[in-house]
Amino acid sequence: MLVDGLRALMTYRRFPDRIVFAHTEVPQPLEGQGLAAKLARVALDFARVNRLRVVPLCPYVSSFIRKHPEYQDLVSSGDLQRLLSR
């Protein structure tokens, strides 16, 4: 996502049955504008539409899923238990 010439991004790796979110980055001048949340929401909606399991290695995505239970069904039960216990 490009905003004012600065790039906010999310890195991931897609597999046939799952998507692994590794990192979310928002440049400091753009922090606090909800861009990371927008990236997470779009990425998780993509996973849902494509019936992919989510592996949230990225701390931001993990936190986002904890705060937005509507996305918790995308995470396998073992990963979800670890995520919710943090």
Q: What is the CATH number of the domain that holds 10?
A: 3.40.630.30
Q: How many domains does the chain have?
A: 1
pLDDT digits (tens, 9 = 90+) for 28-61: 887 898 999 999 999 999 999 999 999 999 999 9
**pTM for this structure?**
0.86
Burial 47-83, CB ≥16 within 10 A → b, else e: beeeebebbbebebbbbbbeeeeebeebbeeebbeeb
Nearest CA among 84, 66, 70, 78 for reference residue 18 = 78
Look up the domain containing 56 and give its range.
Answer: 2-84
Q: Is the pLDDT of residue 3 over 90?
A: no
Q: Is the pLDDT of residue 2 over 70?
A: no
Amino acid at 27: P
